[in-house]
Amino acid sequence: MTAVSTPFVAPSTAGAQARLPLVTVRDLRVRYAPDAPLVLDGVDLDLHPGEMVALLGASGSGKSTLMKTLTGFAPISGGTARVGGFDLNNLRRGQLRELRSNVGQVFQQFNLIGRLSVLTNVLAGSLYGAGPLNLLGTFRSEDRKRALELLDRVGIAHKADQEARTLSGGQQQRVAIARALMQRPKLILADEPVASLDPKMSRTVLELLRSIAHQEGIPVLVSLHVLPLALAHSDRIVGLRHGELVVQGATSQLDAAQLAVVYDVDDEEEED
């Protein structure tokens, strides 16, 4: 594939093109070794600008592997996957870095550097596009301005100078979201972002992610375990069971009974 400097369709693109999927996955199959069982088996998925999609599945269903595949961290054994203008079946090393620079990631454990300030943690999100000053640990004034604006966007600008480790779990997750936005991502992947938060803060974080999807035109794929949260805070729901796609549809057309098949498993396996 020929390298493309700006392969992603901008979220602001007008008309029908804006509704073209940013992510297209067809008949995706993933196994980690030639003789190993399939972790994903025949998965289809589209992600469009401006939507929040909840990814449901029990432990071992393949949720984490699907997200890893979209950033080139899991091998594709069959089928196709495209993220923006990148063909994930045929990525060169330089393209892999560019792909990852366009994908913001939010994790369950926040992955902040606790002894550094909240502002510095957010600024770290700009390192994917680092110039010489950034690499030396000095950030441009425009980066600092943007980082403060993003902290205000997530509601914790007043914590900018505090060490990240002094914040509550919910506050740290909002810092992590601001850091992901600092990349100017075209796609956000949130892997169990509320698993360690209380119910109230879980709702706050998911509302924030959904508002980012809608207002910024960035597709957000968020993996969840709790059905009520998925039903309350997503536009579409995708359900995996033993690596296979068993549910996919608009959230408004699904209910808990229809989604029960996602968790109809005989045994619990270790999360992939």
Question: How are beta strands 78-83 and 23-30 bridged, if at all?
Answer: antiparallel
Say if residue 91 is in the same domain as residue 131.
no
Say if residue 92 is in the same domain as residue 128.
no
Say if residue 98 is in the same domain as residue 199.
yes
Nearest CA among 102, 88, 104, 91 for reference residue 28: 88
Express each pLDDT in 11-60 by its tens digit.
443 343 457 899 999 999 999 999 999 999 999 999 999 999 999 999 88
Structure pTM?
Answer: 0.87
Asked whether residue 9 carries a pLDDT value surpassing 80, the answer given is no
Residue 216 pLDDT: 94
Per the prediction, the chain carries an average pLDDT of 87
Between CA 96 and CA 93 the distance in angstroms is 5
Say if residue 157 is in the same domain as residue 223.
no
Answer yes or no: are the C-beta atoms of 241 and 216 closer than 8 Å. Answer: no
Express each pLDDT in 104-126 by its tens digit.
999 999 999 999 999 999 999 98
Distances (CA, A) of 45 to 90, 110, 241: 19, 26, 15
Say if residue 61 is in the same domain as residue 180.
no
Q: What is the rounded average pLDDT of the residues 147-155?
A: 96
Residue 263 pLDDT: 86
**Could you tell me if residue 15 is inside a domain?**
no
- Give the residue numbers spanning the domain of 164: 110-184
Say if residue 178 is in the same domain as residue 209.
no
Say if residue 96 is in the same domain as residue 215.
yes
Q: What is the rounded average pLDDT of the residues 137-154?
A: 89
**Could you tell me if residue 89 is inside a domain?**
yes
Say if residue 54 is in the same domain as residue 122.
no
The count of structural domains within the chain is: 2
Say if residue 144 is in the same domain as residue 202.
no
Residue 138 pLDDT: 65
User: Which has the minimum average pLDDT: 6-15, 37-46, 133-142?
Assistant: 6-15
Nearest CA among 261, 190, 228, 225 for reference residue 59: 225
242 versus 139: which is more confidently predicted? 242
**DSSP state letter for 175:** H
**Could you tell me if residue 213 is inside a domain?**
yes
Category of 111 on φ-ψ map: left (φ > 0), alpha (ψ -120 to 50) or beta: left
Say if residue 29 is in the same domain as residue 155.
no
Torsion of CA 209, 210, 213, 216, to 10 degrees: -80
Between CA 242 and CA 194 the distance in angstroms is 23
The CATH number of the domain holding residue 232 is: 3.40.50.300
Say if residue 170 is in the same domain as residue 212.
no
Radius of gyration for the alpha carbons in the chain, expressed in angstroms and rounded: 18
Express each pLDDT in 196-228 by its tens digit.
999 999 999 999 999 999 999 999 999 998 999
